[in-house]
Chain A
Amino acid sequence: MFWTKLKRILRAGFFNFWRDSTVSFASVLVMVVTLLVIGSISFSSAILDTSLAELRNKIDINVTFITSAKEEDILNIKHTIETLSEVSQVTYVSREEALTAFKERHASDPSILAALDELGENPLGAVLNVKTIDPSQYASVAEFLESDNVLSSNDVTIIDRINYFQNKAAIDKLIRVISSADRLGLALTLFLAIISVLIAFNTIRLTIYIARDEISVMRLVGASTTYIQGPFVVVGVIYGITAGLLTLLMFLFITYWLGETTENFFVGFNIFSYYLRHFLEIALIIMVSGMLLGALSSVLAIRKYLKV
Protein backbone atom coordinates (compact mmCIF):
# COMPACT_ATOMS: atom_id res chain seq x y z
CA MET A 1 0.00 0.00 0.00
CA PHE A 2 2.88 2.35 0.82
CA TRP A 3 4.32 2.13 -2.70
CA THR A 4 0.91 2.53 -4.32
CA LYS A 5 0.29 5.60 -2.20
CA LEU A 6 3.75 7.03 -2.99
CA LYS A 7 3.23 6.37 -6.68
CA ARG A 8 -0.15 8.13 -6.61
CA ILE A 9 1.22 11.11 -4.71
CA LEU A 10 4.17 11.48 -7.11
CA ARG A 11 1.92 11.16 -10.14
CA ALA A 12 -0.60 13.68 -8.79
CA GLY A 13 2.21 16.12 -7.96
CA PHE A 14 3.73 15.82 -11.40
CA PHE A 15 0.35 16.30 -13.12
CA ASN A 16 -0.44 19.34 -10.96
CA PHE A 17 2.92 20.89 -11.85
CA TRP A 18 2.39 20.25 -15.54
CA ARG A 19 -1.28 21.21 -15.80
CA ASP A 20 -0.96 24.41 -13.80
CA SER A 21 1.88 25.49 -16.04
CA THR A 22 1.42 29.28 -15.68
CA VAL A 23 1.54 29.15 -11.90
CA SER A 24 4.45 26.69 -12.03
CA PHE A 25 6.37 28.92 -14.45
CA ALA A 26 5.95 31.97 -12.19
CA SER A 27 6.94 30.07 -9.05
CA VAL A 28 10.01 28.57 -10.71
CA LEU A 29 11.13 32.03 -11.87
CA VAL A 30 10.83 33.48 -8.37
CA MET A 31 12.74 30.54 -6.99
CA VAL A 32 15.49 30.95 -9.61
CA VAL A 33 16.07 34.48 -8.31
CA THR A 34 16.32 33.15 -4.75
CA LEU A 35 18.76 30.42 -5.74
CA LEU A 36 20.87 32.88 -7.75
CA VAL A 37 21.24 34.98 -4.61
CA ILE A 38 22.05 31.92 -2.48
CA GLY A 39 24.61 30.78 -5.06
CA SER A 40 26.30 34.15 -5.20
CA ILE A 41 27.00 33.92 -1.46
CA SER A 42 29.29 31.03 -2.29
CA PHE A 43 30.99 33.05 -5.04
CA SER A 44 31.48 36.18 -2.96
CA SER A 45 33.08 34.31 -0.09
CA ALA A 46 35.42 32.63 -2.58
CA ILE A 47 36.36 36.03 -3.99
CA LEU A 48 37.00 37.29 -0.45
CA ASP A 49 39.23 34.33 0.38
CA THR A 50 41.25 34.53 -2.82
CA SER A 51 41.79 38.26 -2.71
CA LEU A 52 42.94 38.12 0.92
CA ALA A 53 45.28 35.24 0.17
CA GLU A 54 46.63 37.08 -2.85
CA LEU A 55 47.20 40.18 -0.78
CA ARG A 56 48.97 38.25 1.98
CA ASN A 57 51.17 36.78 -0.70
CA LYS A 58 52.19 40.31 -1.62
CA ILE A 59 53.87 40.71 1.78
CA ASP A 60 57.57 40.02 1.51
CA ILE A 61 60.80 41.36 2.92
CA ASN A 62 63.04 43.43 0.75
CA VAL A 63 66.51 43.74 2.20
CA THR A 64 68.30 46.61 0.46
CA PHE A 65 72.07 46.73 0.76
CA ILE A 66 74.29 49.75 0.76
CA THR A 67 75.75 50.57 -2.67
CA SER A 68 79.29 49.67 -1.60
CA ALA A 69 78.33 46.16 -0.46
CA LYS A 70 80.23 43.41 -2.25
CA GLU A 71 78.24 40.89 -4.24
CA GLU A 72 80.08 38.06 -2.50
CA ASP A 73 79.01 39.28 0.97
CA ILE A 74 75.45 39.64 -0.20
CA LEU A 75 75.40 36.09 -1.60
CA ASN A 76 76.76 34.87 1.72
CA ILE A 77 73.87 36.50 3.55
CA LYS A 78 71.48 35.02 0.95
CA HIS A 79 72.87 31.61 1.75
CA THR A 80 72.44 32.17 5.50
CA ILE A 81 68.84 33.25 5.07
CA GLU A 82 68.08 30.25 2.87
CA THR A 83 69.04 27.92 5.68
CA LEU A 84 66.24 29.29 7.87
CA SER A 85 63.35 26.85 8.07
CA GLU A 86 60.66 29.52 7.78
CA VAL A 87 61.97 30.85 4.47
CA SER A 88 60.52 29.52 1.25
CA GLN A 89 62.35 31.62 -1.33
CA VAL A 90 65.14 34.18 -1.54
CA THR A 91 65.70 36.11 -4.77
CA TYR A 92 68.80 38.20 -5.45
CA VAL A 93 68.41 41.41 -7.46
CA SER A 94 71.75 42.94 -8.39
CA ARG A 95 72.31 46.73 -8.50
CA GLU A 96 72.16 46.74 -12.32
CA GLU A 97 68.94 44.74 -12.38
CA ALA A 98 67.46 47.06 -9.79
CA LEU A 99 68.37 50.05 -11.95
CA THR A 100 66.88 48.52 -15.10
CA ALA A 101 63.67 47.70 -13.26
CA PHE A 102 63.53 51.22 -11.84
CA LYS A 103 63.99 52.74 -15.31
CA GLU A 104 61.29 50.51 -16.74
CA ARG A 105 58.90 51.46 -13.97
CA HIS A 106 59.42 55.15 -14.59
CA ALA A 107 59.75 55.00 -18.39
CA SER A 108 56.86 57.43 -18.74
CA ASP A 109 58.32 59.96 -16.33
CA PRO A 110 61.17 61.83 -18.08
CA SER A 111 61.96 64.08 -15.09
CA ILE A 112 62.93 61.13 -12.91
CA LEU A 113 65.03 59.63 -15.68
CA ALA A 114 66.74 63.00 -16.20
CA ALA A 115 67.51 63.24 -12.47
CA LEU A 116 68.99 59.76 -12.61
CA ASP A 117 71.23 60.74 -15.53
CA GLU A 118 72.39 63.84 -13.72
CA LEU A 119 73.44 61.70 -10.77
CA GLY A 120 75.86 59.90 -13.07
CA GLU A 121 76.18 56.75 -11.02
CA ASN A 122 73.74 54.01 -9.96
CA PRO A 123 72.21 55.13 -6.67
CA LEU A 124 70.39 51.84 -6.08
CA GLY A 125 71.68 49.08 -3.86
CA ALA A 126 71.27 45.36 -4.49
CA VAL A 127 68.18 43.73 -3.02
CA LEU A 128 67.36 40.36 -1.48
CA ASN A 129 63.68 39.50 -1.72
CA VAL A 130 62.64 37.06 1.01
CA LYS A 131 59.39 35.11 1.12
CA THR A 132 58.34 32.92 4.00
CA ILE A 133 56.10 29.86 4.02
CA ASP A 134 53.55 31.57 6.26
CA PRO A 135 52.93 35.35 6.44
CA SER A 136 53.10 35.25 10.24
CA GLN A 137 56.77 34.24 10.06
CA TYR A 138 57.91 37.52 8.50
CA ALA A 139 58.32 39.19 11.85
CA SER A 140 60.81 36.62 13.11
CA VAL A 141 62.77 36.62 9.84
CA ALA A 142 62.93 40.41 9.90
CA GLU A 143 64.17 40.31 13.48
CA PHE A 144 66.85 37.83 12.53
CA LEU A 145 68.06 40.16 9.78
CA GLU A 146 68.14 43.10 12.17
CA SER A 147 70.34 41.17 14.57
CA ASP A 148 74.12 41.03 14.53
CA ASN A 149 74.30 37.62 12.86
CA VAL A 150 74.16 39.04 9.38
CA LEU A 151 76.98 41.53 9.57
CA SER A 152 79.66 41.46 6.94
CA SER A 153 83.10 39.99 7.63
CA ASN A 154 84.66 43.19 9.02
CA ASP A 155 81.82 43.71 11.50
CA VAL A 156 80.24 46.59 9.61
CA THR A 157 76.66 46.15 8.58
CA ILE A 158 76.10 46.31 4.84
CA ILE A 159 72.31 46.32 5.12
CA ASP A 160 70.88 49.71 4.23
CA ARG A 161 67.22 49.06 5.19
CA ILE A 162 64.66 46.33 5.63
CA ASN A 163 61.32 47.40 4.18
CA TYR A 164 59.14 44.84 5.94
CA PHE A 165 58.46 47.25 8.74
CA GLN A 166 57.54 50.03 6.31
CA ASN A 167 55.04 47.96 4.23
CA LYS A 168 53.53 45.94 7.01
CA ALA A 169 51.23 48.67 8.32
CA ALA A 170 49.96 49.53 4.85
CA ILE A 171 49.33 45.90 3.96
CA ASP A 172 47.58 45.17 7.24
CA LYS A 173 45.35 48.18 6.71
CA LEU A 174 44.53 47.09 3.16
CA ILE A 175 43.61 43.61 4.40
CA ARG A 176 41.34 45.15 7.01
CA VAL A 177 39.64 47.39 4.43
CA ILE A 178 39.12 44.56 1.94
CA SER A 179 37.83 42.11 4.51
CA SER A 180 35.39 44.58 6.01
CA ALA A 181 34.18 45.60 2.54
CA ASP A 182 33.70 41.95 1.69
CA ARG A 183 31.99 41.24 4.99
CA LEU A 184 29.59 44.07 4.26
CA GLY A 185 28.98 42.57 0.81
CA LEU A 186 28.36 39.17 2.36
CA ALA A 187 25.94 40.65 4.90
CA LEU A 188 24.05 42.41 2.10
CA THR A 189 23.89 39.19 0.09
CA LEU A 190 22.63 37.29 3.13
CA PHE A 191 20.00 39.96 3.67
CA LEU A 192 18.95 39.67 0.01
CA ALA A 193 18.88 35.89 0.37
CA ILE A 194 16.54 36.10 3.35
CA ILE A 195 14.22 38.48 1.50
CA SER A 196 14.14 36.35 -1.62
CA VAL A 197 13.48 33.21 0.44
CA LEU A 198 10.50 34.99 1.97
CA ILE A 199 9.27 36.02 -1.48
CA ALA A 200 9.60 32.46 -2.77
CA PHE A 201 7.77 31.19 0.31
CA ASN A 202 4.96 33.66 -0.27
CA THR A 203 4.67 32.72 -3.93
CA ILE A 204 4.20 29.09 -3.03
CA ARG A 205 1.75 30.13 -0.34
CA LEU A 206 -0.27 31.94 -3.00
CA THR A 207 -0.35 28.88 -5.26
CA ILE A 208 -1.73 26.88 -2.36
CA TYR A 209 -4.16 29.67 -1.50
CA ILE A 210 -5.54 29.34 -5.04
CA ALA A 211 -6.10 25.64 -4.36
CA ARG A 212 -7.77 26.07 -0.95
CA ASP A 213 -11.25 25.06 -2.17
CA GLU A 214 -9.76 22.01 -3.76
CA ILE A 215 -8.09 21.12 -0.47
CA SER A 216 -11.37 21.40 1.43
CA VAL A 217 -13.10 19.15 -1.13
CA MET A 218 -10.34 16.58 -0.70
CA ARG A 219 -10.90 16.77 3.03
CA LEU A 220 -14.65 16.26 2.61
CA VAL A 221 -14.25 13.15 0.49
CA GLY A 222 -12.23 11.72 3.36
CA ALA A 223 -8.67 12.04 2.05
CA SER A 224 -6.00 11.82 4.75
CA THR A 225 -3.60 14.66 5.53
CA THR A 226 -0.63 12.93 3.87
CA TYR A 227 -2.66 12.22 0.82
CA ILE A 228 -3.70 15.87 0.42
CA GLN A 229 -0.37 17.35 1.41
CA GLY A 230 1.79 14.90 -0.55
CA PRO A 231 1.17 16.18 -4.08
CA PHE A 232 1.70 19.81 -2.98
CA VAL A 233 5.03 18.90 -1.43
CA VAL A 234 5.96 17.03 -4.62
CA VAL A 235 5.09 20.13 -6.66
CA GLY A 236 7.26 22.22 -4.31
CA VAL A 237 10.17 19.83 -4.79
CA ILE A 238 9.70 19.91 -8.58
CA TYR A 239 9.77 23.73 -8.43
CA GLY A 240 13.04 23.40 -6.50
CA ILE A 241 14.62 20.93 -8.93
CA THR A 242 13.59 22.89 -12.03
CA ALA A 243 14.70 26.21 -10.54
CA GLY A 244 17.95 24.61 -9.32
CA LEU A 245 18.82 23.27 -12.79
CA LEU A 246 17.97 26.61 -14.42
CA THR A 247 20.09 28.44 -11.85
CA LEU A 248 23.10 26.17 -12.43
CA LEU A 249 22.76 26.74 -16.18
CA MET A 250 22.49 30.51 -15.71
CA PHE A 251 25.56 30.53 -13.47
CA LEU A 252 27.44 28.74 -16.25
CA PHE A 253 26.70 31.62 -18.66
CA ILE A 254 27.12 34.38 -16.09
CA THR A 255 30.48 33.13 -14.78
CA TYR A 256 31.74 32.47 -18.33
CA TRP A 257 30.84 36.04 -19.23
CA LEU A 258 32.45 37.44 -16.05
CA GLY A 259 35.44 35.08 -16.13
CA GLU A 260 38.00 37.40 -17.74
CA THR A 261 36.82 40.50 -15.93
CA THR A 262 37.21 38.82 -12.55
CA GLU A 263 40.62 37.45 -13.53
CA ASN A 264 41.86 40.98 -14.29
CA PHE A 265 40.20 42.55 -11.30
CA PHE A 266 40.91 40.01 -8.56
CA VAL A 267 44.40 39.05 -9.73
CA GLY A 268 44.25 35.45 -10.86
CA PHE A 269 40.76 34.63 -9.61
CA ASN A 270 38.72 33.40 -12.57
CA ILE A 271 35.12 32.98 -11.45
CA PHE A 272 34.34 30.65 -14.38
CA SER A 273 37.10 28.20 -13.57
CA TYR A 274 36.20 28.47 -9.87
CA TYR A 275 32.62 27.49 -10.81
CA LEU A 276 33.81 24.53 -12.88
CA ARG A 277 36.21 23.37 -10.15
CA HIS A 278 33.58 23.58 -7.40
CA PHE A 279 30.60 22.59 -9.55
CA LEU A 280 29.54 19.57 -7.49
CA GLU A 281 29.68 21.49 -4.24
CA ILE A 282 27.74 24.49 -5.61
CA ALA A 283 25.23 22.25 -7.41
CA LEU A 284 24.57 20.37 -4.17
CA ILE A 285 23.98 23.58 -2.21
CA ILE A 286 21.65 25.00 -4.85
CA MET A 287 19.65 21.83 -5.51
CA VAL A 288 19.21 21.04 -1.82
CA SER A 289 18.24 24.65 -0.99
CA GLY A 290 15.72 24.65 -3.84
CA MET A 291 14.10 21.37 -2.87
CA LEU A 292 14.01 22.22 0.83
CA LEU A 293 12.58 25.66 0.14
CA GLY A 294 9.88 24.19 -2.11
CA ALA A 295 8.92 21.36 0.20
CA LEU A 296 9.00 23.37 3.43
CA SER A 297 7.02 26.26 1.95
CA SER A 298 4.34 23.84 0.78
CA VAL A 299 4.10 22.07 4.12
CA LEU A 300 3.90 25.34 6.05
CA ALA A 301 1.45 26.97 3.64
CA ILE A 302 -0.95 24.07 3.39
CA ARG A 303 -1.36 23.53 7.13
CA LYS A 304 -3.81 26.38 7.38
CA TYR A 305 -6.23 24.82 4.89
CA LEU A 306 -6.14 21.33 6.34
CA LYS A 307 -8.16 22.22 9.40
CA VAL A 308 -11.59 21.42 7.87
Chain B
Amino acid sequence: MIVFDRVSKVYPDNSVALEGVTLSIEPKEFISIVGPSGAGKTTLLKLLLAEEAPTDGAVYYESTNIHTLKKKEIDAFRRKVGMVFQDFRLLPNKTVYENIAFTMEAAGRADEEIEQDVPHVLELVDLSAKVWNFPRELSGGEKQRVAIARALVNEPEVIIADEPTGNLDPANTYDIVQILKKINDLGTTVILATHNKGIIDLLKKRVVAMERGRIVRDDKSSKYFV
Protein backbone atom coordinates (compact mmCIF):
# COMPACT_ATOMS: atom_id res chain seq x y z
CA MET B 1 0.00 0.00 0.00
CA ILE B 2 1.31 3.42 -1.01
CA VAL B 3 0.14 6.54 0.81
CA PHE B 4 0.84 10.19 0.01
CA ASP B 5 -0.02 12.07 3.17
CA ARG B 6 -0.64 15.80 2.63
CA VAL B 7 2.42 16.07 0.44
CA SER B 8 3.64 19.44 -0.82
CA LYS B 9 6.62 20.17 -2.98
CA VAL B 10 8.00 23.65 -3.58
CA TYR B 11 11.12 23.92 -5.76
CA PRO B 12 13.94 26.32 -4.84
CA ASP B 13 12.68 28.83 -7.43
CA ASN B 14 9.41 28.96 -5.39
CA SER B 15 7.37 27.18 -8.05
CA VAL B 16 4.78 24.98 -6.35
CA ALA B 17 4.69 21.52 -7.91
CA LEU B 18 2.42 19.80 -5.36
CA GLU B 19 0.10 21.24 -2.76
CA GLY B 20 -1.35 19.09 0.03
CA VAL B 21 -1.78 15.93 -2.04
CA THR B 22 -3.32 12.98 -0.22
CA LEU B 23 -3.65 9.73 -2.13
CA SER B 24 -3.61 6.06 -1.29
CA ILE B 25 -2.95 3.23 -3.70
CA GLU B 26 -3.94 -0.34 -2.88
CA PRO B 27 -1.73 -3.34 -3.71
CA LYS B 28 -2.38 -4.80 -7.19
CA GLU B 29 -4.26 -1.69 -8.22
CA PHE B 30 -3.95 -0.08 -11.68
CA ILE B 31 -4.11 3.66 -11.24
CA SER B 32 -3.78 6.32 -13.93
CA ILE B 33 -2.73 9.83 -13.00
CA VAL B 34 -3.85 12.32 -15.61
CA GLY B 35 -3.54 16.03 -16.10
CA PRO B 36 -1.95 18.64 -18.34
CA SER B 37 1.80 19.25 -18.40
CA GLY B 38 2.94 20.92 -15.20
CA ALA B 39 0.08 19.45 -13.17
CA GLY B 40 2.56 17.70 -10.87
CA LYS B 41 2.33 14.11 -12.15
CA THR B 42 6.05 13.61 -12.64
CA THR B 43 6.89 15.26 -9.30
CA LEU B 44 4.49 12.86 -7.58
CA LEU B 45 6.32 9.89 -9.12
CA LYS B 46 9.75 11.34 -8.31
CA LEU B 47 8.73 11.62 -4.66
CA LEU B 48 7.66 7.99 -4.69
CA LEU B 49 11.09 6.94 -6.01
CA ALA B 50 12.88 9.17 -3.45
CA GLU B 51 14.41 11.07 -6.34
CA GLU B 52 13.07 14.23 -4.73
CA ALA B 53 12.17 14.95 -1.10
CA PRO B 54 8.81 16.55 -0.17
CA THR B 55 8.77 20.05 1.29
CA ASP B 56 5.93 19.03 3.56
CA GLY B 57 4.04 15.81 4.33
CA ALA B 58 5.24 12.21 3.91
CA VAL B 59 5.17 9.34 1.43
CA TYR B 60 4.69 5.84 2.86
CA TYR B 61 5.36 2.50 1.29
CA GLU B 62 3.92 -0.28 3.44
CA SER B 63 4.00 2.01 6.49
CA THR B 64 7.64 3.04 5.92
CA ASN B 65 8.31 6.71 5.30
CA ILE B 66 10.41 6.53 2.14
CA HIS B 67 12.26 9.76 2.81
CA THR B 68 13.63 8.59 6.13
CA LEU B 69 15.43 5.66 4.46
CA LYS B 70 19.21 5.54 4.32
CA LYS B 71 21.02 5.49 0.97
CA LYS B 72 21.45 1.71 0.93
CA GLU B 73 17.85 1.18 1.93
CA ILE B 74 16.78 3.47 -0.89
CA ASP B 75 18.75 1.30 -3.35
CA ALA B 76 16.98 -1.77 -1.97
CA PHE B 77 13.58 -0.05 -2.08
CA ARG B 78 14.09 1.03 -5.70
CA ARG B 79 14.67 -2.58 -6.66
CA LYS B 80 11.08 -3.28 -5.54
CA VAL B 81 9.82 -0.62 -7.92
CA GLY B 82 10.07 -0.89 -11.71
CA MET B 83 10.31 2.40 -13.58
CA VAL B 84 9.34 3.15 -17.19
CA PHE B 85 10.11 6.60 -18.64
CA GLN B 86 8.80 8.54 -21.61
CA ASP B 87 12.29 8.78 -23.08
CA PHE B 88 13.05 5.08 -22.37
CA ARG B 89 16.41 5.82 -20.68
CA LEU B 90 18.11 2.65 -21.80
CA LEU B 91 21.88 2.32 -21.31
CA PRO B 92 23.18 3.15 -24.82
CA ASN B 93 26.37 1.09 -24.63
CA LYS B 94 24.62 -2.09 -23.57
CA THR B 95 22.68 -4.55 -25.70
CA VAL B 96 19.01 -5.30 -25.02
CA TYR B 97 20.08 -8.37 -23.05
CA GLU B 98 22.64 -6.43 -21.00
CA ASN B 99 20.22 -3.60 -20.28
CA ILE B 100 17.85 -6.03 -18.64
CA ALA B 101 20.59 -8.12 -17.05
CA PHE B 102 22.04 -4.95 -15.49
CA THR B 103 18.98 -4.48 -13.30
CA MET B 104 19.23 -8.07 -12.12
CA GLU B 105 22.98 -7.76 -11.50
CA ALA B 106 22.35 -4.59 -9.49
CA ALA B 107 19.91 -6.57 -7.37
CA GLY B 108 22.63 -9.16 -6.75
CA ARG B 109 20.99 -12.02 -8.67
CA ALA B 110 23.03 -15.04 -9.75
CA ASP B 111 24.24 -15.56 -13.34
CA GLU B 112 22.05 -18.66 -13.81
CA GLU B 113 18.95 -16.72 -12.80
CA ILE B 114 19.83 -13.93 -15.20
CA GLU B 115 20.39 -16.36 -18.08
CA GLN B 116 17.01 -17.87 -17.37
CA ASP B 117 14.90 -14.78 -16.65
CA VAL B 118 16.07 -12.32 -19.32
CA PRO B 119 14.90 -14.40 -22.33
CA HIS B 120 11.68 -15.09 -20.49
CA VAL B 121 10.86 -11.46 -19.85
CA LEU B 122 11.83 -10.54 -23.42
CA GLU B 123 9.36 -13.12 -24.63
CA LEU B 124 6.70 -11.47 -22.49
CA VAL B 125 7.20 -8.15 -24.31
CA ASP B 126 7.60 -9.97 -27.62
CA LEU B 127 11.18 -8.90 -28.29
CA SER B 128 13.06 -12.21 -28.34
CA ALA B 129 14.45 -11.50 -31.81
CA LYS B 130 16.33 -8.36 -30.71
CA VAL B 131 18.29 -9.71 -27.77
CA TRP B 132 21.73 -8.65 -29.07
CA ASN B 133 20.74 -5.33 -30.61
CA PHE B 134 21.82 -2.00 -29.14
CA PRO B 135 19.12 0.58 -28.23
CA ARG B 136 20.10 2.78 -31.21
CA GLU B 137 19.10 -0.08 -33.52
CA LEU B 138 15.53 -0.27 -32.15
CA SER B 139 12.33 1.65 -32.94
CA GLY B 140 10.61 3.76 -30.26
CA GLY B 141 8.06 1.06 -29.51
CA GLU B 142 10.76 -1.58 -29.21
CA LYS B 143 12.82 0.61 -26.90
CA GLN B 144 9.82 1.10 -24.63
CA ARG B 145 9.22 -2.64 -24.55
CA VAL B 146 12.84 -3.17 -23.49
CA ALA B 147 12.31 -0.56 -20.77
CA ILE B 148 9.21 -2.40 -19.57
CA ALA B 149 11.05 -5.71 -19.63
CA ARG B 150 13.80 -4.09 -17.56
CA ALA B 151 11.28 -2.72 -15.08
CA LEU B 152 9.62 -6.11 -14.87
CA VAL B 153 12.53 -8.51 -14.59
CA ASN B 154 13.11 -8.16 -10.85
CA GLU B 155 9.45 -8.98 -10.25
CA PRO B 156 8.75 -5.62 -8.62
CA GLU B 157 5.74 -4.98 -6.44
CA VAL B 158 5.04 -1.70 -8.21
CA ILE B 159 5.60 -0.48 -11.76
CA ILE B 160 5.68 3.27 -12.28
CA ALA B 161 5.23 4.41 -15.87
CA ASP B 162 5.72 8.13 -16.57
CA GLU B 163 4.16 8.98 -19.95
CA PRO B 164 5.35 5.68 -21.39
CA THR B 165 3.50 6.26 -24.65
CA GLY B 166 4.39 9.94 -25.04
CA ASN B 167 6.84 9.27 -27.86
CA LEU B 168 4.94 6.44 -29.56
CA ASP B 169 2.47 6.07 -32.44
CA PRO B 170 -1.08 4.76 -31.75
CA ALA B 171 -0.30 1.14 -32.66
CA ASN B 172 2.69 1.00 -30.30
CA THR B 173 0.73 2.88 -27.64
CA TYR B 174 -1.92 0.20 -27.77
CA ASP B 175 0.69 -2.55 -27.43
CA ILE B 176 2.35 -0.90 -24.43
CA VAL B 177 -0.97 -0.41 -22.65
CA GLN B 178 -1.84 -4.06 -23.23
CA ILE B 179 1.51 -5.12 -21.77
CA LEU B 180 0.98 -2.92 -18.70
CA LYS B 181 -2.48 -4.39 -18.26
CA LYS B 182 -1.09 -7.89 -18.49
CA ILE B 183 1.52 -7.05 -15.85
CA ASN B 184 -1.24 -5.75 -13.58
CA ASP B 185 -3.29 -8.91 -14.15
CA LEU B 186 -0.30 -10.91 -12.94
CA GLY B 187 -0.50 -9.06 -9.60
CA THR B 188 1.78 -6.02 -9.89
CA THR B 189 0.59 -2.55 -8.85
CA VAL B 190 0.81 -0.20 -11.86
CA ILE B 191 0.95 3.59 -11.56
CA LEU B 192 0.61 5.24 -14.95
CA ALA B 193 1.03 8.97 -15.54
CA THR B 194 -0.31 10.13 -18.88
CA HIS B 195 -2.23 12.83 -20.70
CA ASN B 196 -3.43 10.48 -23.41
CA LYS B 197 -7.22 10.33 -23.23
CA GLY B 198 -7.41 7.28 -25.47
CA ILE B 199 -5.38 5.17 -23.03
CA ILE B 200 -7.68 5.96 -20.10
CA ASP B 201 -10.75 5.05 -22.07
CA LEU B 202 -9.12 1.80 -23.11
CA LEU B 203 -8.15 0.81 -19.57
CA LYS B 204 -11.38 1.30 -17.63
CA LYS B 205 -9.44 1.54 -14.35
CA ARG B 206 -9.10 4.11 -11.54
CA VAL B 207 -8.24 7.62 -12.70
CA VAL B 208 -6.81 10.42 -10.56
CA ALA B 209 -6.89 13.83 -12.22
CA MET B 210 -4.42 16.55 -11.21
CA GLU B 211 -4.24 20.22 -11.93
CA ARG B 212 -1.74 22.82 -10.70
CA GLY B 213 -0.33 20.50 -8.05
CA ARG B 214 -3.66 19.38 -6.61
CA ILE B 215 -5.88 16.34 -7.04
CA VAL B 216 -9.09 17.59 -8.61
CA ARG B 217 -10.82 14.25 -9.10
CA ASP B 218 -10.41 10.61 -8.05
CA ASP B 219 -12.64 8.37 -10.12
CA LYS B 220 -12.84 4.64 -9.47
CA SER B 221 -14.43 4.04 -12.89
CA SER B 222 -12.51 5.23 -15.86
CA LYS B 223 -13.47 8.22 -17.90
CA TYR B 224 -11.11 11.07 -18.62
CA PHE B 225 -13.27 14.13 -18.28
CA VAL B 226 -10.62 16.73 -17.62
Contact = CB atoms under 8 A, between A and B. Distances in A.
Interface of A: 1, 4-5, 8, 15-16, 19-20, 213-214, 217-225, 227, 308
B195 interface: no
A220 B49 contact: yes
Nearest to A214: B91
A33 to B, nearest CB: 26
Nearest to A15: B93
B115 interface: no
A222 B93 contact: no
B75 A222 contact: yes
B102 A218 contact: yes
B9 interface: no
Nearest to B91: A214
B79 interface: yes
A213 B90 CA distance: 9
B41 interface: no
Contacts of A16: 93
B102 A224 contact: no
B106 interface: yes
A252 B128 CA distance: 51
B76 A222 contact: yes
Contacts of B71: 225
Contacts of A222: 75-79, 103, 106-107
Contacts of B94: 15
Contacts of B77: 222
Contact of A221 (B108, B110, B111, B150): B150
Nearest to B109: A4
A15 B94 CA distance: 8
Contact of A224 (B75, B111, B150): B75
A165 to B, nearest CB: 74
A308 B49 CA distance: 10
B111 A227 contact: no
Contact of A220 (B72, B78, B93, B105): B78
Given A1-B108, A218-B106, 7 more contacts: A217-B91, A220-B78, A220-B89, A221-B102, A222-B77, A223-B106, A224-B75
A213 B93 contact: no
Interface string B93-125: 110001000110111101100000000000000
Contact of B111 (A4, A20, A217, A223): A4
9 contacts: A15-B94, A19-B93, A20-B93, A219-B78, A220-B51, A221-B78, A221-B102, A222-B76, A222-B107
Contact of B92 (A4, A214, A218): A214
B83 A221 contact: yes
Considering the complex of A and B, which 4 residue pairs feature the smallest CB-CB distances, nearest first? A223-B106, A222-B78, A222-B79, A217-B89
A219 B75 CA distance: 7
Nearest to A220: B83
Which residue of A15, A220, A221 has the most chain B CB atoms within 10 A of its CB atom?
A221
Nearest to A224: B75
B65 to A, nearest CB: 18
Contacts of A225: 71
Contact of A4 (B79, B89, B110, B150): B110
A43 B75 CA distance: 50
Nearest to A228: B106
Q: Which of A1, A15, A220, A224 has the most CB of B within 10 A?
A: A220
Contacts of A220: 49, 51, 78, 83, 89
Nearest to B151: A221
Interface in B122-171: 150
Contacts of A224: 72, 75, 106
